[in-house]
Chains A and B, each alone.
Chain A
Amino acid sequence: MPNGNRFDSLKMMAGRKKLDRRDFMKFCTVMGTFIGLGPAAAPQVAEALLNKKRPSVVYLHGAECTGCTEALLRAYEPYFDEIIMSTISLDYCETVMAAAGHASHAALEKALRNPDGYICVIEGGIPTYHGGEYCKVGGETFFQLCARVASKAIATIAMGSCASFGGVQAASPNPSGSKGVNAALESVGVEAINIAGCPPNPMNFVGTVVHLLTKGMPKLDSWNRPKMFFGDTVHAHCPRQEHFNKGEFALSFDSPEAKKGWCLYKLGCKGPYTYNNCPTEMFNQVNWPVKAGAPCIGCSEPNFWDDYSPFFHPIEDNPKS
């Protein structure tokens, strides 16, 4: 639904402390529930979000398209400006930060020396061919940068499918030898939480950060994804599932069945194989691919570009799987 007028949104923006206490606690209750702590955890969430010292976050960009950062800009609860002004201290993030060149490096080094530590977020795959030279930041390979930053972080979050599993550049024949954070940095002792998705739902990122601030490490599935967001398949909560159960499928995009909102499985939907909360969380608060008539492409699964394509054919027609 359309929200508020311009003035309302500015009032909201003027900081949590100025917010109506009831509104704020309502938000904390929602967030507490969202991250699986239950509504009773609201005071705990509130305390974490109002903490005087905001946790330092170092956000690195590698072999990626910046879609995950773009998704984060669309965060809603809290808004991105609230995240960077009131929730975390975004001490290094090339897309947003004011400083450039050596001044940005100085900001990074300062954050790495922070006595309270920092959370490392990595967006993008890590190229490994040719000594990692396919991606350089300030003359340092992305691999070196990640190894240096992530190995000393309090926690590392792999933001999006590229950082989680290598992503689009890791699709066959993976010309740059790109890998996800866990595959590339295992040797230096890094174990990252994978917020998979292309892009991930920003709420899943924010919820993970709030969980880290309130209760520490969330429970992870076998692919290191937080179970609270990746516990069920897309299919499990899909509104089109009743049609699947009845065997009612759309067989082409111009069919009456497609118009009626029947199941997209035979048009290639990978919802039954894909773990994510898209149907319940949605994107941009208004829509998600299957609602928009587009088959799920399985973007939060490992190796989805190769294992889940061709995208417009059901998986049993796919000779590769």
Chain B
Amino acid sequence: MSQKSAVVAGKNLIIDPVTRIEGHLKIEVEIDNGRVKDAWVGAQLFRGIEKILKGRPPEDAPLFTQRTCGVCTNTHALTSIRAIEDALDIKAPPMAEVIRNLILSALVVHDHLVHFYHLHGLDWIDMASAISANPAKAGKLVAQTSNRSEDPSELYLIQKRLKDFVKTGQLGFLENAYFLGGNPAYHLTPEENLILSAHYFEGLRVQLELARAMALFAGKNPHAQSMVVGGVTCYDSLRPEIIEHFRHIWKITMEFVENAMMPDITMLTMKYPEALKYGSTSNFMAFSDFYDPETGKDPYFKSGIIWGNNLHKHDKMDLDNIAEHVARSWYEGDKARKPYEGETDPQYTSYEDKDKYSWAKAPRYKDEPMETGPLARRAIAYAKKESETTKLLDDFFKKTGMKSEQLFSTMGRTVCRVVETTMLTRRMEGWINTCADRIKAGDDKIYQKWTMPDREIKGVGTCCVTRGALSHWIKIKDGKIDNFQLVVPSTWNLGPRCANGKLSPAEQSLMGCPCPDPDRPVEILRTIHSFDPCIACAVHLIDGRGGEPKKFKVL
């Protein structure tokens, strides 16, 4: 039997695998006096998509790159497309951009929803406690905190379902949950747990609808197929009944986001005030996205930089300041490189090594670690005094007693995720209307022809992926991919230390994180999960330049 992920190595605690994420992640922390004193966050898988892309036709790249992640599929496809369109200096027709906005917004909302309930939810919800709730009382609470009318019969049904499930003695996905047997780290009342459990299951149904919404235009979900360099291909979707189906799903989603997600994060913030006190990082970075379909300008999500948690000041984002370090990753060398010149030669040391301990690279902006994702985006929007973010956050602060500086925390990160979900879902209606109007007017120009030049070209595409800032960098030579690099949210947030020894945002966020019960390190999981880790994305890297990897017999 190999080494297991129990408490090992003196004072250190290893959590491996970190579950309820996408991909393979190991966390090792040193604990002193019930708090984390040092942390190492290591990705445990690598695959080599960039190396695989070399020499292939650029227009195939979106199909490959979206397989870096089955969660952010469409966003990787779109980012590749943007990189290639940038290199070709072409623009997709406005109607194609409307459709891309619809697909992308549905994806971000979908992803935030699934993360909030299904990946992060069980860090806060005690499903077992829901069994002893009074559904009528819970129903009243729903009526008080949302626009939903009191309807305890739904909650009765959910409770019965949970009871029946537990009675079978087969706990399945809840086996060994940290809340079983009672855990002082879980603070919700049985009624609150019942409400959130009901939303966990209802959320599963809503996400299915949102995936369907994406598929209406993307051909399927996961892994879109209708987005191509030059536009989209889904002529069959340009029908009023399709847009009305999309609108129907949007309405279901809107109702859920306003009446479940928002009240739920409000409840969690008030019941877990301690989670506003740990989990902070310092610097924040965001790209812009959701461009106006007509002009290609005036993005709905705005780019920017925040240094040192200063909500009163923001900097301009400049792509030229990005470089990737590999000194502490399982790659050769210690030189930081800009993405166009990215190079990656694997050099695995060992599972126990603390000098080199991750397959993820360490991207840095002006040599500094940057957190990216919903917290970065909303903090930058707040610093820029963007009206919707400001209003939503200020209302939230008023309601919960949270302070603006507490955004920089484990719970703050999750608050921003829900705020962003709310504003983006509201915004979707406008794109739906634009799409409907254009269909009515007979606009079926969704593709722009292009030709690949013989000369060398390069381009970069950026995207506001659910969990952060994604960029794809392509160099094209003789009509083939000469170099392709992905700088992904999970390497920004969850990479290792850099050549200068600076911790990644996730490592930084763990410093001082309480860990009163090392057998049930739920506070550490709450902090790590608040980033919405997605590790397959972070481990796309390997460039076996200098020969084929040696073959070893495995057993």
A residues near B (Cβ < 8 Å) are: 1-2, 6-7, 9-11, 13-15, 17-18, 52-54, 56, 61-71, 73-74, 76, 79-81, 84-85, 88-91, 93-107, 110, 127-144, 147, 167-169, 171-178, 184, 187, 198-199, 252-254, 258-259, 261, 283-294, 297, 305, 309-312
Give the residue of A66, A81, A85, A258 whose beta carbon is less than 8 angstroms from that of B233.
Answer: A258
User: Across the interface, do A312 and B57 meet the contact criterion of CB distance under 8 Å?
Assistant: yes
**Cα of A9 to Cα of B551 in the assembled complex, Å:** 52
Q: A71's contact among B21, B214, B222, B549, by CB below 8 Å, is which?
A: B222
Q: Are B122 and A98 in contact (CB under 8 A)?
A: yes
Is the beta-carbon distance between A66 and B161 smaller than 8 angstroms? no
- Cβ contacts under 8 Å, A1 to chain B: 245
- Kindly list the 3 A-B residue pairs having the minimum CB-CB distance in the complex, ordered from nearest: A67-B70, A175-B48, A292-B219
Is B300 an interface residue when CB atoms closer than 8 A count as contact? no
Contact: B219 with A90, CB < 8 Å?
no
Asked if B403 is an interface residue, CB under 8 A from chain A, the answer is no
| A230 vs chain B, min Cβ distance (A) | 17
**Known A66-B69, A284-B211: A310·B552 in contact at CB below 8 Å:** no
Shortest distance between the CB of A161 and any CB in chain B (Å): 9
Contact A99 B63 (CB under 8 A): no
- 28 residue pairs A–B, Cβ–Cβ below 8 Å: A10-B158, A10-B201, A14-B160, A17-B164, A52-B168, A65-B73, A66-B71, A67-B67, A67-B70, A67-B222, A81-B201, A91-B173, A97-B174, A99-B176, A100-B525, A101-B521, A103-B520, A129-B549, A132-B554, A133-B348, A139-B2, A143-B555, A171-B64, A173-B51, A174-B52, A284-B221, A293-B235, A294-B226
Question: Chain B contacts of A147 at CB under 8 A?
Answer: 555
B220 in complex: contacting residue of A130, A169, A176, A287, CB < 8 Å: A287
**Stretch in contact with the other chain, from B10-18, B272-280, B414-422, B500-508:** B10-18
Interface residues of B (CB under 8 A from A): 2-7, 14-24, 26, 44-49, 51-52, 56-57, 59-60, 63-64, 67-71, 73, 114, 118-119, 122, 151, 154, 157-158, 160-161, 164-165, 168, 170-179, 198, 201-202, 204-205, 207-208, 211-212, 214-223, 225-226, 228, 230-237, 245, 248-249, 252, 255-256, 346, 348, 351, 359, 444-445, 447-449, 520-521, 525, 536, 542, 544, 548-552, 554-555
> Is A137 in contact with B49, judged by CB distance below 8 angstroms?
no
Knowing A253-B231, A253-B447, the reply to whether A74 touches B208 (Cβ < 8 A) is yes
Question: In the complex the two chains form, is B47's CB within 8 Å of A178's CB?
Answer: yes
- Give the chain B neighbours of A66 by CB distance below 8 A: 22-23, 69-71, 536
A89 touching B551, Cβ below 8 Å:
no
On chain B, the residues within 8 Å of A7 by CB distance are 151, 154
Q: Are A95 and B20 in contact (CB under 8 A)?
A: yes
- A62: B residues at CB distance < 8 A: 45
Please indicate the chain B residues that have their CB under 8 angstroms from the CB of A67 in the complex.
67, 69-71, 73, 222-223
